[in-house]
Amino acid sequence: MPTADKSADRKACIKCIMKISKKAYYGLRATLALAQTEKPLSIHTLAEMEHLPLDYLEKILQTLRKAGLVTAHKGVAGGYALARPASETNIWEILRELDPPIKTFSTPLKGELPCLHVGHCQTNEVWRMLENKIEKTLSDVTLESLIPRNNS
């Protein structure tokens, strides 16, 4: 029977299969918040709503703006908005812009111990296929699909 510590270690290991940066996580939260409003949001409002550091959020939104994922509007009613409808903006493109290159898996022994299989490891194709499936799955998840629906 596994001990509580081993069980926790296993759960932590499973959660580490794909780890995204804070930058990517904050970017997803910010774009999801933008997807749920019809008007542009000021950076101050967005930072307050999502409890994100203002300076960091500013850099994230600049990156997303340069990538064409959000737009910046000037003036009293200005702020940030999605560049495309939430139904046309997927999670993969946000992650790819904020956390490039997304490398989901790497050989555990790479650079740590001598390995006879470096350069021709038989398992690399499995990891490549899995990375492709993750990319496809995240490309199929739009911001719109993550917005909670009102069941009223």
* pLDDT per residue as tens digits for the range 51-89: 999 999 999 999 999 999 999 999 888 999 999 999 999
What is the chain's mean pLDDT, rounded? 83
Phi then psi for residue 81, to 5 deg, are -145, 160
127: Cβ contacts below 8 Å, ≥ 6 apart: 104, 105, 106
Q: Angle at CA 104, nearest 5°, toward 62 and 52?
A: 35
The whole-angstrom distance between residue 87's C-alpha and the CA centroid of its chain comes to 17
Percentage of the residues of the chain whose pLDDT score is greater than 90: 56
Q: Which two tokens stand for residue 144?
A: 């719109």
What's at 82, amino acid-wise?
Answer: L
DSSP alpha helices (H): ranges in 16-90? 22-35, 43-50, 54-66
Query: Among candidates 44, 40, 36, which has minimal Cα distance to 74?
Result: 40
Highest mean pLDDT among 7-16, 54-63, 114-123: 54-63
Phi then psi for residue 70, to 5 deg, are -130, 160
Q: How confident is the model at residue 128 (pLDDT cuts 50, 70, 90)?
A: confident
pLDDT at 101: 66
pLDDT at 15: 47
User: How far apart are the C-alpha atoms of 26 and 76, rounded to whole Å?
Assistant: 25
pLDDT tens per residue across span 95-108? 999 987 666 665 55
pTM of the predicted model, to two decimals? 0.76
**Domains of the chain listed by start with CATH number:** 18-146 (1.10.10.10)
